[in-house]
Amino acid sequence: MSRKVVRTSKFRHVFGQPVKADQCYDDIRISQMTWDSNFCSVNPKFVAMIVDASGGGAFIVLPLSKTGRIDMSLPTVCGHTGPVLDIEFCPHNDNIIASGSEDCSVMIWEIPDGGLISPLKDPVVKLEGHSKRVGILSWHPTAHNVLMSAGCDNVVILWNVARGEAVVRIDSMHTDLIYSACWNRNGSQILTSCKDKKLRVIDPRKGSVICEKDKPHEGSRPVRAVFVSDGKILTTGFSRMSERQVALWDPNNFSEPLNLQELDTSSGVLLPFFDPDTGVVYLCGKGDSSIRYFEVTDEAPYVHYLSMYSSKESQKGMGYMPKRGLEVNKCEIARFYKLHERKCEPIVMTVPRKSDLFQEDLYPDTIGPEPSVEADDWFAGKNGEPILISLKDGFVATTKNKEFKVIKSLMRGLLKQHSKPPASRSRTPPPQPTKIQAPSSLLLDWGISGLLKSRTILLAAQLTGMISNKPARISPIADTRLTLGLTSSFSMQVVKSAPAHRMSRDRTVSIQLMIVMARAA
């Protein structure tokens, strides 16, 4: 009989959890535009969201710490004359954000460190070159001040933001609406998906197609595509029967997908987010109330389903925090900012670990904020690999000291035990052995050791009373043994032991006294 072998993975038990209600961003009027973009961008400083605005387009930028109810009069970025369709923070400067709008322009904004204190209407740079609305923006991952934009005019433009000019214009390649556009890891290639049902890998500086795939998905609905590990391509789309699919492709051989999975029959477009450090890809559907995540590996079947986070409310957009903005102490491997109808809710993806140490297997060196090449050098043909940083610098070692609380509670219990008189009873109590009580002043002076000593004296008195009922020849021996036992046990356990071990000490004293009693009997 064969058994099913369960694949081992450190990410099998990843779970998603929303933050507490007071850590959400409430009372925000999220944009009602029907456009398949994220509507949200986030970095370790700020979170930005596209909102409804009258008389033009606007978006808000909040410091991450500004949670709770957001005032309706909060200043916005409101320089566009048409609705904003896409926003994205610069990966090399957390204060710079780009926005694309229906007014056919791209604007670059600089946000002050503390956030906006007044409406921001004047951009740092205004980029004009599209003839129709601009719905896709993507910063170069390694080159400084290089931005890609794609519009409904089927044109892709590469901008030198520092100079404010369009350097590369790809205008005759795509014959229909561009659904998605993204860079590979070092920014040497561009990947686009288009309404003409073609998937293209492009040399951005030459403006030529390296390879392309016809109909990566049979359905007519939008296709999204991203580069994943080792130059492979992951796509999301629809089958001919309108079933949502996820597929993995090798650009060197587009004849058949490496993996193709059917998910469900929902109509929302799946937005893929890939983490190159862990190899985990997250699929967030617009209008869905769930986030699916898969692990991409080098061995067949290449794409492995991990789990799914589900909630009650649907999502209108999604922001994805860069790896350097995560809390490594909590073993976060991803954090999403889910847009609801009237709020933004952070969702944390965590790997459960018992150890409080830094988890090096979860946090390899990741892409940092420093660019590796300048814009002019990149346009001249120079490539640069990402400059990596260690997340260990953001790890704060924690020490747990629960023992102090136990000591405190035990001390209160002992004080109550010696300070409260026994409850009176109507019936005549049975005869009790002689009791010896230490003065209260001595208890205060002795502290914990005094309490233990007084408790030991009481036990000794009770045992003495029990033994006193024996024949007279036993009593002197018992008194001597009790005295020796009390002296040795108290000197060994109270004087030489640390206060933190009072419970075991008290137990040892009691056991030794019982042994003395047994021997005396």
Task: Sketch out the chain's domains with CATH numbers.
Answer: 15-394 (2.130.10.10), 403-417+433-520 (no CATH)
The H or E element containing residue 87 is: strand 84-89
CB 323 within 8 A of CB 278: no
Residue 16 pLDDT > 50:
yes
Closest CA to 54 of 37, 71, 76: 76
Predicted confidence band of residue 11 (pLDDT cuts 50, 70, 90): confident
Tell me the C-alpha distance between 148 and 127, whole Å. Answer: 11
- Cα–Cα distances in Å, from 347 out to 150, 220, 318, 320, 344? 29, 32, 10, 10, 10
- Overall average pLDDT of the 295-305 stretch: 93
Model pLDDT for residues 418-465, shown as the tens digit of each residue: 555 555 444 555 555 444 444 444 444 445 555 555 566 666 666 655
Lowest mean pLDDT among 159-168, 321-330, 357-366, 399-408: 399-408
Q: What is the mean pLDDT of residues 150-169?
A: 97
Read off the pLDDT of each residue in 397-416 and give the average, rounded to a whole number: 45
pLDDT for res 515: 56
The DSSP annotation for 452-487 comes to: HHHHHHHHHHHHHHHHTTS-TTHHHHHHHHHHHHHH
How confident is the model at residue 507, as a pLDDT? Answer: 52
- Give yes or no for a contact between 375 and 160, defined as CB atoms under 8 angstroms apart: yes
Burial (0-12, 13-18, 19+ Cβ within 10 Å), 98: buried
Q: Which of 6-10, 48-52, 62-66, 416-420 has the lowest mean pLDDT?
A: 416-420
Q: Give the count of beta carbons closer than 10 Å to the beta carbon of residue 314.
A: 16
Window from 186-190, 394-398, 415-419 with minimum mean pLDDT: 415-419
Is 50 exceeded by the pLDDT of residue 478? no
Tokens encoding 516? 């003395």
Question: Residue range 364-384: average pLDDT?
Answer: 96
Q: What is the DSSP secondary structure assignment for residue 493, as one 8-state letter?
A: I
Coil, strand, or helix at residue 339?
strand
User: How far apart are the C-alpha atoms of 22 and 32, rounded to whole Å?
Assistant: 25
C-alpha to C-alpha distance for 348 and 410, rounded to whole angstroms: 38
pLDDT of residue 419: 52
Residue 473 CA to residue 379 CA, distance in Å, equals 107
Q: Which helix (H) or strand (E) holds 212?
A: strand 208-214
Average pLDDT for 264-286: 94
Indicate the length of the chain as a whole number. Answer: 521
Q: Examine the pLDDT at 471 and tell me if it is beyond 90.
A: no
Q: What average pLDDT does the segment 19-29 reach?
A: 95
pLDDT-above-90 percentage for the chain? 65
Residue 240 dihedral angles phi and psi, to the nearest 5°: -65, -25
499 pLDDT higher than 70: no
pLDDT at 40 over 90: yes
DSSP strand pairing (343-350 vs 25-26): antiparallel
Tell me the average pLDDT across 371-375. Answer: 97
CA 511/CA 154 separation, integer angstroms: 87
Closest by CA to 521, choosing from 489, 432, 513, is 513
Q: Which helix (H) or strand (E) holds 110?
A: strand 105-110
